[in-house]
A and B are shown apart, each in its own frame.
Chain A
Amino acid sequence: MLLKLKGGRVYDPANGVDGEIRDLYVRDGQIASTPAPDERIDREYDLGGRVVMAGAIDMHTHIGGGKMNIARAMLPEDHRADPVARTAITRASCGHAAPGTFATGYRYAEMGYTACFEPAILPVNARQAHLEMGDTPMVDKGGYVMLGSDDFLLRLMAAGEDQKLINDYVAWTLQATHCIGIKVVNPGGISAFKFNQRTMQLDEAHPFYGVTPRDILRVLSRAVHELGVPHPLHVHSSNLGVPGNVDTTLGTIRASEGLPIHLTHIQFHSYGTEGDRKFSSAAARVAEAVNSTPNASCDVGQVLFGQTVTASADSMSQQRNSGFANPPKYVVMDIECDAGCGVVPFKYRDRNFVNALQWAVGLEIFLLVNDPWRVFLTTDHPNGAPFTTYPHLIRLLMDRTFRNERLGLIHPDAQALTTVGSIDREYSLYEIAILTRAAPAKLLGLADLGHLAPGARADITVYRNDPDRERMFSAPEYVFKDGDVVVRDGKVVKVTWGRYHRVQPEYDHGIERRLKDHFDRYQTMRADHMRITPDEMHAFGHGADVVTHPCRR
C-alpha cells in the first residue's frame, strides 16, 4: 500500500522543515522516500492549504495506574457531566478530568496525538498501569517508573552501597516494569511522610535513613546516565506548590551536577514569596536557570481554569493541599514501602488570586524559556487541567491578542504581579511542532516518532490552517496512525491499539538475590511477581507490539 499526501505545508522540525509545501509518501505504516515514477500510488490525499505535522506526543500525562483509578472512583459527578456514547466502532466511556481509558485514547487521537507517556508508575502498581494503558486505544504508550522513596533504594543508600549496585537495581526495575524512563517524586519525601514529616528540604536528612533529597537526585541521575537510558531523570521536585519553592527548584537543577535532568510541571515549582500575599511568580528566575543550563529541560504543567482533579504520587504535598479540595473530598495513601499517592479534586478559578497567578506563572515559563527543544507543552493532565484543553493552551501561546484578552479576566492583583502582558512572543507553528512532536521524541530517544523523514512511523496529523488556533488544533482533518486514517474531521473512524515503548538496560543479576531476600522478609508479595512478562504485556495491550529502544552505552 503506497499513499501520497500531496502538497501540504509540512512542519517537521526534526528535519529542519519549516512550513515547506511537500509531498509525503507512506508505505507499510512508515514514511517512505519518493517512489520511482512508475510505481503505482494506491491512494492520494490532496492536502493543499493544510498544515501537516507528525502525530503529537504527550510526554507527561497521567493516563493510567492506581491513582487515576482512585480519581475515577471519586468523581461520578464529573463523569456524568461528560458521558461518551458508544458507536459502531467505539466503546461507551466517560470524559473530562479523569476520563475512562477508552475516552482517553479516542480524545487524544481526535486532537492529533499519537503517543502518550504515563509519568508516575509505581513499581508495585506497574501491572495495573500497563493494564490501563493496554485498554487505552489509538495511541502509543510508555511510562516512567518511580524510585526515590522506596525503602529498598533508601536502604542501599543508607548502607553506603556502591553506585554500581544502585544501577543494577534501577535497570532491574526498568526491565521488570517495561518502562522507558525513571521518575523521582519529592525525593525521599513520600517515605518521610510515613514517619509523619510534613515538608522535606533539598538538604534535609531523611528521618530514618539519613539520606537527603540531593543525595537521591545524584544517585538516580547518575544511574540513568550510566545505564545509557535516553530520557534524563524525570524530576518532580520537593516542595510542590509551596510559596518560595523557587530556591528548591534552582537547587534541584544544580543537584544534577551537570548530568541531564528533566524538571516536570515546573510551573508548580516556580513560586516566590514577594508581595502583600507572600505569593509571587518566580518564573523569570526559573526560566533563566533553564536557559543557562543546557543539560536541563522542563515541562510546564500549565494551569487552566475550571474543574479538575489533582492526582500525584506526592502524598506529602497532597496531604498538605487536602484542605483546598473542591469538591471537599480527598484520598491519600501510603503504598507498599514503595511510594504513595494523593488524589485531591481541584477547581482553578480565574478570580482566585493564587489560581490566577499559577496560570500566569505557567505562561511566563513558556514565554521566557528561549529554547523550544527544552520546554514541553503539558498541563500535567489532569493536575493543571485536563489534556483536552491543549488546543486552548496552544492558542494562548500563538496568539498574543487572545492571551492578553484572557489576562484581562483574571484576578486584578495577579494581573499586577505578572509580566505576561508585557511579553510579545508568539509561538510559531514550527515551534509548536517542536514542543509537541520533535522535542519529546528526541528527549525520550524515540528515533522513529515525532518526525516525517523516511523510516519514521507514519503517525501524521493534518490540520486545516485556521487562524483560530484553538479550533485548528481541536479537530484535525486527518490523523494517520501507522499509515491508516484513524481520525477524520476530529472523529475516530478506525480503532487501533498503538504500541508500547520501553528500554531494557542490562544489569548484573546478582541484584535479584538481594531483592528476593528483601521481598521475602519485608514485603507481602514475591519479588518474582514484580516482573511483568512479555506475554502479559502483549495480552494487556490487545496484541500491541512492544518496542525496545536502545540504551546508549
Chain B
Amino acid sequence: MPASPVIPEAVSNVACPFCGLVCDDLEVSTAAGRVTVQANGCALALAAFERGNSDGGTGPRIDGVPASLADAAATAARLLLGSRLPVIGGLATDVEGARAAGRLADRLGGVLDHMNSATFLRNTMVLQDSGWIATTLSEVRNRADLLIVAGGDVVSRFPRFFERCIANGDTLFGEGRTCDVIFLGPGVPAGSTIPGIVPTVIPCDVTQLAAAFGLLRALLAGRPVQAESAAGMPLATWRSLVERMKVARYGVMAWAAGDFPFPHAELTVQSLCELVKELNLEGRFSGLPLGGSDGDITADAVHLWQTGFGSRTSFGQGIPENDAYHHSTARLLARGEADVLVWISSLNEARTPPPTSIPTIVLGCTGMAFEREPAVFIPVGTPGLDHAGHLFRTDRVVALPLQQLRPSTLPSVADVLAAIHAALEES
C-alpha cells in the first residue's frame, strides 16, 4: 500500500506519465483530492488526469466477486503455479512495476511482452541489425535548424513536442532561433495548425517511404538515378529535399514507429536511419525516435539491463530467450501455447487485455471495463497520480521521478506483484 504523504494543494514540476515526452513542468492543483492540471498540460494530460478523478471505489474481484487483495493475490498465485507457460503482458507500468514483472517472469518461467511491442520492435530490430545516430529532446530544442517528420504528425501522439522543442525562440546559442519543419506524409490533420510553426508538407505515400529514403541516399551519394518518382512524389521534390538536408547545420529526422503500421516497417525505419548515418559523413544530422508511451521504453529498459533482452522474452527454459515472433502475446494466445495471461495496464483504462479464453489476471486501472470478466481483477494505482514511481522518456536517457498527487488506497503494480510473489513462495 502506498504511504500517505502530505500532498500540498498546489504542486509544481509535476511529471506527466501519459505520453513518452514525460513533460515534468506541469502545475497541478490537488484540492479536496481532486487533481486538476492548472498549467502546461496538453489535451492528453488534461483528459488523463481528469479520468483519474472519476474512478475509485472498485476493489479486487475473483471471478467477478469482490475479494480482499490477499485472497486475490493468493488466487492469482494458485493459477500461476498451475501454469506451464504464463504470459506477463501489457507491462504498462513504471520502473518499479517492470522490475517486479521481471522477477515474476524469472520465477515462473514466463514470457514478458509489452502491449506496444509490435510497434516498438520496428526500432529494436534496427538497433540489433544496423544501429542509428540519434539525438534527444534538449538537443533538438537548442540545435535543430531543420526538422523532418517521417510518417505521422507527432502532435497527436506527443502533443507538446513542437511547443517544447521547436517553437522556442531562445536557445543556448542565441535568440530568434528558427527551424524549418517538413512533414513526409499527411502532416497535421486538415484544419488544425501547430502554433508558431508553418510546416512544409510533402504528401508522399508513407507505405513507400523506404523507397524515398533509398532515393535520397542515392542522390546524397551522387549516384546516377533512373527513378522519376518515389512514394508518389516526383524526383525534383526529393532532389530539393536532399539539398536542404545537406545544408542543415543540425538536421533532425523524427519518427514514431507507430506511424508505420504496415508489414516489415522495420525496413522503413532502417532506411531512414541509414540515410541519417550517411548525412553524417559530411555534416550533422540525427534521428529522433519518438516512443515511450504506456511505459514501453521503461519496461524495455529494465528488462534489457536485467537480462540482455527486452520485450518478447521467455524464461520458460530457465534462461532468457528473446524471439520477436514466437514470444508475441497474440501468437501465444492464438496458438494455445500460453495457459495463463497476466495483464498489467496501470496508465490507461482503455488498454484492456486481448480477447482470450485462458484464465486472465488483470492488474488494471480501476475504471477498466471488460468484455469478459477476468479470473482475477486487481485494481492498481496509476504511477504519478496514486503513487510515486519512475518513467523513462522517449530518448531512453532521462528517467523522471513521478509523484503521488492524491490520497489513494490503491496498491502499485509493484506492490501487487510482490504480494503474488509472496503467495507463490508460501504455496
Residues of A within 8 A of B (CB): 64, 66, 68-70, 72-76, 79, 83-86, 91-94, 98-102, 122, 124-125, 127-128, 131-132, 135, 151, 155, 193-196, 208, 319, 325, 328-338, 343, 521-526, 528-529, 533, 536, 539
- Taken together as a complex, chains A and B put the C-alpha atoms of A8 and B168 apart, in Å, by 67
Q: Are A336 and B139 in contact (CB under 8 A)?
A: yes
- Taken together as a complex, chains A and B put the C-alpha atoms of A84 and B308 apart, in Å, by 10
Shortest distance between the CB of A200 and any CB in chain B (Å)? 15
Instruction: Convert B227-247 into 0s and 1s, putting 1 for each residue whose CB lies closer than 8 angstroms to a CB of A.
Output: 000000000000000000000
Q: Are B305 and A68 in contact (CB under 8 A)?
A: yes
Q: Are A536 and B142 in contact (CB under 8 A)?
A: no
Q: How many inter-chain contacts with C-beta < 8 Å in the A-B complex?
A: 186
Q: Are B137 and A524 in contact (CB under 8 A)?
A: yes
Q: Are B398 and A100 in contact (CB under 8 A)?
A: no
Chain B, interface SS category: mixed
Q: Other than the known A74-B127, A92-B320, A100-B320, what 7 A-B pairs have Cβ atoms closer than 8 Å?
A: A66-B396, A85-B319, A92-B318, A94-B309, A193-B284, A319-B133, A524-B137
Partner of A526, one of B25, B139, B171: B25
Asked if B387 is at the interface of the complex by the 8 Å CB criterion, the answer is: no
- Taken together as a complex, chains A and B put the C-alpha atoms of A131 and B398 apart, in Å, by 12
Shortest distance between the CB of B137 and any CB in chain A (Å)? 4
- Taken together as a complex, chains A and B put the C-alpha atoms of A102 and B130 apart, in Å, by 27
A-B pairs, 5 with minimum CB distance: A94-B308, A83-B319, A79-B308, A524-B137, A329-B131
Shortest distance between the CB of A100 and any CB in chain B (Å)? 5
Q: Are A331 and B320 in contact (CB under 8 A)?
A: no
Asked if B165 is at the interface of the complex by the 8 Å CB criterion, the answer is: yes
Instruction: Convert B298-319 into 0s and 1s, putting 1 for each residue whose CB lies closer than 8 angstroms to a CB of A.
Output: 0011101111111000010011
Q: Are A522 and B142 in contact (CB under 8 A)?
A: yes
Contacts of B135 in A (CB 8 A): 333-335
Contacts of A338 in B (CB 8 A): 138
Also in contact, A132 and B318, with CB within 8 A (given A70-B396, A194-B139, A332-B133): no
Contacts of A69 in B (CB 8 A): 301, 304-305, 396
Q: Are A522 and B138 in contact (CB under 8 A)?
A: yes
Q: Are A335 and B173 in contact (CB under 8 A)?
A: no
Pull 15 A–B residue pairs with CB atoms less than 8 Å apart, ordered by A.
Answer: A73-B310, A76-B309, A85-B318, A86-B318, A92-B320, A94-B308, A100-B308, A127-B398, A127-B400, A128-B397, A135-B99, A337-B172, A523-B138, A524-B141, A529-B24
Please, which residue of chain A has its CB at the minimum distance from the CB of B399?
A127
Asked if B164 is at the interface of the complex by the 8 Å CB criterion, the answer is: yes
Q: Are A522 and B171 in contact (CB under 8 A)?
A: yes
Q: Are A335 and B131 in contact (CB under 8 A)?
A: no
Asked if B124 is at the interface of the complex by the 8 Å CB criterion, the answer is: yes
Within 8 A of A (CB), among B166-217: 170-173
Q: Are A529 and B307 in contact (CB under 8 A)?
A: no
Q: Are B304 and A335 in contact (CB under 8 A)?
A: no
Shortest distance between the CB of B282 and any CB in chain A (Å)? 8
Partner of B399, one of A131, A325, A333, A337: A131
Shortest distance between the CB of A5 and any CB in chain B (Å)? 34
Asked if B343 is at the interface of the complex by the 8 Å CB criterion, the answer is: no
- Taken together as a complex, chains A and B put the C-alpha atoms of A521 and B168 apart, in Å, by 9
Please, which residue of chain A has its CB at the minimum distance from the CB of B107?
A86
Partner of A84, one of B99, B137, B319: B319
Within 8 A of A (CB), among B386-427: 390, 392, 395-401
Contacts of A74 in B (CB 8 A): 127-128, 131
Also in contact, A522 and B172, with CB within 8 A (given A73-B304, A100-B308): yes
Within 8 A of A (CB), among B124-157: 124, 127-139, 141-143
Please, which residue of chain B has its CB at the minimum distance from the CB of A74?
B127
Q: Are A70 and B127 in contact (CB under 8 A)?
A: yes
- Taken together as a complex, chains A and B put the C-alpha atoms of A337 and B310 apart, in Å, by 28
Within 8 A of A (CB), among B362-405: 390, 392, 395-401
Also in contact, A124 and B398, with CB within 8 A (given A194-B139, A334-B286): yes
Shortest distance between the CB of A92 and any CB in chain B (Å)? 5
Please, which residue of chain A has its CB at the minimum distance from the CB of B323?
A76
Shortest distance between the CB of A529 and any CB in chain B (Å)? 5
- Taken together as a complex, chains A and B put the C-alpha atoms of A334 and B390 apart, in Å, by 23
Q: Are B398 and A336 in contact (CB under 8 A)?
A: yes
Q: Are A131 and B141 in contact (CB under 8 A)?
A: no
Please, which residue of chain B has its CB at the minimum distance from the CB of A208?
B173
Shortest distance between the CB of A205 and any CB in chain B (Å)? 16
Contacts of B255 in A (CB 8 A): none
Asked if B13 is at the interface of the complex by the 8 Å CB criterion, the answer is: yes
Partner of B401, one of A101, A102, A536: A536
- Taken together as a complex, chains A and B put the C-alpha atoms of A319 and B129 apart, in Å, by 17
Instruction: Convert B60-101 into 0s and 1s, putting 1 for each residue whose CB lies closer than 8 angstroms to a CB of A.
Output: 000000000000000000000000000000000001100100
Q: Are A331 and B305 in contact (CB under 8 A)?
A: no
Contacts of B15 in A (CB 8 A): 529
Also in contact, A72 and B308, with CB within 8 A (given A135-B99, A328-B130): yes
Q: Are A336 and B401 in contact (CB under 8 A)?
A: no
Please, which residue of chain B has its CB at the minimum distance from the CB of A154?
B172
- Taken together as a complex, chains A and B put the C-alpha atoms of A336 and B397 apart, in Å, by 9
- Taken together as a complex, chains A and B put the C-alpha atoms of A533 and B172 apart, in Å, by 28
Instruction: Convert B2-45 into 0s and 1s, putting 1 for each residue whose CB lies closer than 8 angstroms to a CB of A.
Output: 00000000000101000000001100000000000000000000
Q: Are A524 and B401 in contact (CB under 8 A)?
A: no
Shortest distance between the CB of A84 and any CB in chain B (Å)? 7
Shortest distance between the CB of A508 and any CB in chain B (Å)? 23
Please, which residue of chain A has its CB at the minimum distance from the CB of B324?
A76
Contacts of B356 in A (CB 8 A): none
